């Protein structure tokens, strides 16, 4: 199995990104294969038997309707995720203790997602003390397979990320949300409500938007 190597150095700055996005390998959001028949086996999507880590009892669950449109009061659903250690948690655990959470939904095969990882690290470094949480939620690995903890660790360690990275091993993201392109970015509040959304990489005026909401 070849080693995946990130294509962007650590000197990437926020201003270098353009509003680019991937529509997916092949047809848009074709079913993610569980194996390519000749390459390495993919993660099988199974979850640990241990109960999922929920947020504190005070944390309200996300309410329907689910989606990404702030104008319709849509919420990010409390889907099951895996962290890089292979532990199960629900999405509410990643946003309940923070005023705002920046969620970037991406895939390992998406080059703009690779570039954006370092941009998000910069945002995390500068705004985490002001109430911003930053997470990347990956629905596919670098080869388009279902992502597992090994891919999660590879992604995190390749970019030396200190913010949380989660994987969606059962494609719940694609079942609940109509993404259209990869990556997509959203800001959710502590209740899971989407307060800002943009397809593609973070736009150049994102920081001014963020400062208005913090």
Could you list the residue range(s) of the whole structural domain that residue 97 is in? Answer: 72-213
Interatomic CA distance for residues 61 and 32, integer angstroms: 29
Q: Read off the CATH number of the domain in which 130 is found.
A: 3.40.30.10
CB 21 within 8 A of CB 182: yes
46 in a structural domain: no
83 in a structural domain: yes
pLDDT digits (tens, 9 = 90+) for 25-60: 433 333 333 333 333 334 555 555 544 455 455 678
Q: CA-CA distances (angstroms) from residue 44 to 31, 34, 106, 123, 163?
A: 14, 7, 19, 33, 26
Residue 183 pLDDT: 94
pLDDT digits (tens, 9 = 90+) for 144-189: 999 999 999 999 999 999 999 999 988 888 888 877 889 999 999 9
β-bridge pairing 194-199 and 184-189: antiparallel
61 in a structural domain: no
190 in a structural domain: yes
49 in a structural domain: no
Number of structural domains in the chain:
1
């Amino acid at each position: 199995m070849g080693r995946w190597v990130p294509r962007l150095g650590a000197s990437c700055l926020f201003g270098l990104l353009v509003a680019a996005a991937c529509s997916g390998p092949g047809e848009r959001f074709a079913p993610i294969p569980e194996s390519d028949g000749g390459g390495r086996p993919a993660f099988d999507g199974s979850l640990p038997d241990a109960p999922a880590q929920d947020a504190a009892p005070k944390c309200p669950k996300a309410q329907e309707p689910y989606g990404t449109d702030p104008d319709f009061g849509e919420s990010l659903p409390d889907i099951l995720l895996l962290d890089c250690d292979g532990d199960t948690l629900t999405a509410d655990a990643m946003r309940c203790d923070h005023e705002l959470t920046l969620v970037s939904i991406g895939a390992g095969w998406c080059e703009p997602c690779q570039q954006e990882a370092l941009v998000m690290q910069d945002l995390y470094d500068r705004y985490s003390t002001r109430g911003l949480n930053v997470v990347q939620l990956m629905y596919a690995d670098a080869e388009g397979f279902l992502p597992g903890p090994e891919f999660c660790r590879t992604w995190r360690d390749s970019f030396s990320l200190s913010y949380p990275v989660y994987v969606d091993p059962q494609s719940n993201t694609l079942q609940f949300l109509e993404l259209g392109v990869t990556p997509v970015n959203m800001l959710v509040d502590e209740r899971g409500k989407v307060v800002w959304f943009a397809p593609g990489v973070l736009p150049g005026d994102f920081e001014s938007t963020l400062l208005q909401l913090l």
